[in-house]
Amino acid sequence: MNHGLYIHIPFCARKCPYCGFYSVTDRTCLDAYLKSLLTEIKSLEGNSFDTVYTGGGAPSLLGAELPVLLEKIVSLTGFCGAEFTVEVNPESVTKELMSDLSGLPVSRISVGAQSADDSVLRLLERIHTSERIFAAYDIIRSNTGCDINLDLMYDIPSVDAQTVKRSVKKFIALGPEHISAYSYSPDTGYLTDKASDDSYQTEMVTGILEDAGYMRYEVSNFSIPGHESIHNMKYWRMQPYYGVGAGAHSMVVREGRRVRYSHLPDIETYIADPLEKADVEMYDCKTAALESVVFGLRCVEGVDLLEITEKFGAITNELTDKINVLAGEGLLKCAGNRIKASKKGFLLLDSVMSYLW
């Protein structure tokens, strides 16, 4: 069975105050960390990977060390799969780095752009400017044959819809194959005022992207048809993946049962023992079926209840009743065995998911 492989590079030039991902700015233990990553990847020998996703943190911060690391990963895993993504931040994209990556099986570059408006980037305390995004984009496009994703954030408190609209249009004008459009999350406690027109911004961003030919295939992800992220779809379709590195999560199948585990979000602990696992949970069939429905609803295609039943046994009456309630309220659409979120359901997806859970 093919797996996805997620590699966490938890280093950033500066910590953005809104960011909930595990990362640090001190790079004194970088070499030891990379060594531990390779030890963990070596321990996965015997598995085959059809997707690799290198995320962070900011992998591009590694500069010339990044292609060296990725080359070792390709050789350890024998990767010759469908999709290999590398996350970059605009400020650390250079011609040299992109030329080096183009000699590897890297097929997607995901840029943590967020906004094309300098006042928004300052509000988010990002290091880069909009000019740097456009320069980075040109460098990637002219030095690699990779698909490009641009991350875009909206619903940021105090940022009005017109500002967001201009950013979306500027990103579209660049011509990326993929745009991930995320609603701002105040989870870290930074900028906690509610955005004034939040559901409006979701509809506006979705409408502009769709009119420009970007197909929404997941609640926050849009692509030119045929350029969806295969790796990210594994998370929502409950396909197995290994996550290596501090704070990374894995979901694999053991003896027919779904197992989740993670590494503690702590670099020192990870370096001390990269094979140590925390929070190991083995799911029973009932929970695995529920999880498949809840996560699967993030995808526009929805889920096939018959397929889930064949894998995990009949879904519970409680879940069936809840699906019927949501369908009755116009939040889910049912067609044969398939259920999917309606337009209204997508706007209220967090509530739909927590009700089912």
DSSP H or E segment with residue 85: strand 83-88
Among 60, 85, 89, 229, binds ligand SF4 (CB under 6 A): 89
Told to check if 15 binds ligand SF4 by CB under 6 A, we report yes
* Nearer CB in complex with ligand SF4: 162/192: 192
Cα Rg of the chain, angstroms: 20
Alpha-carbon distances, residue 125 vs 25, 82, 156, 193 (angstroms): 15, 35, 13, 17
CB of 247 to ligand SF4, least distance (A): 11
| Cα distance between residue 84 and residue 50, in whole Å | 8
DSSP annotation string for 192-219: -SPPTTHHHHHHHHHHHHHHTTPEEEET
Structure tokens belonging to residue 41? 């990847």
* Nearer CB in complex with ligand SF4: 58/116: 58
* Nearer CB in complex with ligand SF4: 19/244: 19
- β-pair partners for 278: 262
CB of 166 to ligand SF4, least distance (A): 21
Told to check if 112 binds ligand SF4 by CB under 6 A, we report yes
* Nearer CB in complex with ligand SF4: 126/298: 126
* Residue with the CB atom nearest ligand SF4 in the bound state: 19
CB of 97 to ligand SF4, least distance (A): 16
Q: How many residues bind ligand SF4 (CB under 6 A)?
A: 11
Site for ligand SF4, residues 33 to 62, rule: CB under 6 A: 56-58
CB of 62 to ligand SF4, least distance (A): 13
Told to check if 121 binds ligand SF4 by CB under 6 A, we report no
Told to check if 16 binds ligand SF4 by CB under 6 A, we report yes
Please tell me whether residue 50 adopts helix, strand or coil conformation.
strand
CB of 288 to ligand SF4, least distance (A): 30
DSSP annotation string for 132-160: HHHHHHHHHHHH---EEEEEEEE--TT--
Taking Cα atoms as reference points, which of 319, 317, 263 lies closest to residue 291?
319
| Cα distance between residue 182 and residue 310, in whole Å | 34
Which stretch, 9-17, 103-111, 216-224, 262-270, contacts ligand SF4 (CB under 6 A)? Answer: 9-17
Told to check if 77 binds ligand SF4 by CB under 6 A, we report no
Among 4, 5, 6, 23, binds ligand SF4 (CB under 6 A): 23
Which stretch, 13-21, 27-35, 296-304, 340-348, contacts ligand SF4 (CB under 6 A)? Answer: 13-21
Label residue 67 left, alpha or beta by phi (over 0 means left) and psi (-120 to 50 means alpha).
alpha
Among 7, 9, 12, 161, binds ligand SF4 (CB under 6 A): 12
* Nearer CB in complex with ligand SF4: 21/283: 21
- Which residues are within 8 A (CB) of 164 and not within 5 positions of it... i.e. 6 or more apart? 115, 154, 156, 201, 204, 205
Please tell me whether residue 249 adopts helix, strand or coil conformation.
strand
Please state whether the peptide bond connecting residue 57 to the residue before it is cis, i.e. omega within 30 degrees of 0.
yes
Told to check if 19 binds ligand SF4 by CB under 6 A, we report yes
- Residues contributing to the site for ligand SF4 (CB under 6 A): 12, 15-16, 19, 21, 23, 56-58, 89, 112
